[in-house]
Amino acid sequence: MQHGLRRGYADYWQSNIVTLLSGEKVQVAQTIVNPAGRLVPYHWNSKAGWYRAPANFYICLPNDDHYRMAVATFGPPHEVSQVGTYRVLIWDHDIQPFLHDLSDVFKLPLDVTKIGQVPAAGVKIDEHGHWVDELPRAQPTIILYGPYVQLPAGRYKVQFEFAATEAAPSDTVICEATIRKGDVVLNRKSVSGADLSAAKFSKTITLVLDSPGPGEPVEFRVWRSGQGKLTMLSLILDKY
């Protein structure tokens, strides 16, 4: 407030606390990082309108990788201020146009992994920009989720393409499309380690789903159990 800042961005935790403590006089929209290292909207308990308004700052913690990602997304800031425990990057122009355009989610087909899926702990990005999980998972564990896409009502298909190495017969990969924080499953399929091993290069699972429409963001989840290495190559969303 003292710096004249009204609208900006931050990660999930910083955005919520700043907006709350300011009584919404300072509006901070939440963002996450896509595999290309760019900040994109995080559609979790958020509104599409938050990402259409002009903005000119980004909040992060000291020694936080989000500083580098903010510069990669918006360009060098005009000023950097320390406000309490936070570092505030300030631009002398509107940075909203540099954020991922929400209307792009309707330009199908679309690779969902490029607009902000969230990885579980231990999931990494390889040199090709693909999510990779090679940690032992004794029980089915969500390794990717998001990005809570606001889709018009209609029927869609989503293709999960991944590669697996050293998969054991007991390994399992589960792909699903959900709404309402996973409480409602629109479609789900699983593939065994034996099927993964039989695939020479990659394996594709196709789900058909019916979107209820705006107001019911769709989330795509990948679960995994086993000992091998799983690489998520793409997750293509298109009209059915």
Which domain covers residue 206, as residue numbers? 104-239
Residue 175 belongs to some domain of the structure: yes
Give yes or no: residues 84 and 115 share one domain. no
Final residue belonging to a domain, choices 100, 125, 152: 100
pLDDT at 37: 65
pLDDT at 218: 87
pLDDT at 93: 92
Give yes or no: residues 166 and 209 share one domain. yes
Residue 206 belongs to some domain of the structure: yes
pLDDT at 44: 72
Residue 216 belongs to some domain of the structure: yes
State the Cα angle at 23 between 88 and 21, rounded to 5°. Answer: 55
pLDDT at 103: 44
pLDDT at 118: 73
pTM of the model: 0.66
Residue 219 belongs to some domain of the structure: yes
Give yes or no: residues 23 and 112 share one domain. no
Task: Indicate the residue type of 170.
Answer: S
Give yes or no: residues 133 and 230 share one domain. yes
Give yes or no: residues 169 and 73 share one domain. no
HSE-CB of 36 using CA atoms within 13 angstroms: 12
Give yes or no: residues 185 and 217 share one domain. yes
C-alpha pair distances (Å), 12 with each of 15, 48, 160, 175, 192: 5, 15, 26, 25, 35
pLDDT in single tens digits along all 240 residues of the chain:
455 788 999 987 778 777 777 777 788 898 877 656 678 888 777 777 788 889 999 998 877 678 888 888 898 999 999 888 888 999 999 999 888 654 444 567 888 776 667 788 889 888 888 889 999 999 999 999 887 777 888 999 999 999 888 888 889 999 999 998 889 999 999 999 888 877 766 889 999 999 998 778 788 999 999 988 899 999 999 999
Residue 1 belongs to some domain of the structure: no
DSSP state of 49: G
Give yes or no: residues 117 and 200 share one domain. yes
Final residue belonging to a domain, choices 50, 66, 100: 100
Give yes or no: residues 29 and 130 share one domain. no
Final residue belonging to a domain, choices 45, 72, 100: 100
Q: Determine the Cα–Cα distance for residues 222 and 224; give it in Å rounded to an integer.
A: 7
pLDDT at 90: 94
Residue 28 belongs to some domain of the structure: yes
CATH number at residue 156: 2.60.120.260
pLDDT at 115: 63
| Contacts within 8 Å (CB) and 24+ apart, 198-202 | 199/163, 199/164, 201/163, 202/161, 202/162, 202/163, 202/233
Tell me the two tokens of residue 89. Answer: 């990057």
Q: Determine the Cα–Cα distance for residues 130 and 161; give it in Å rounded to an integer.
A: 11
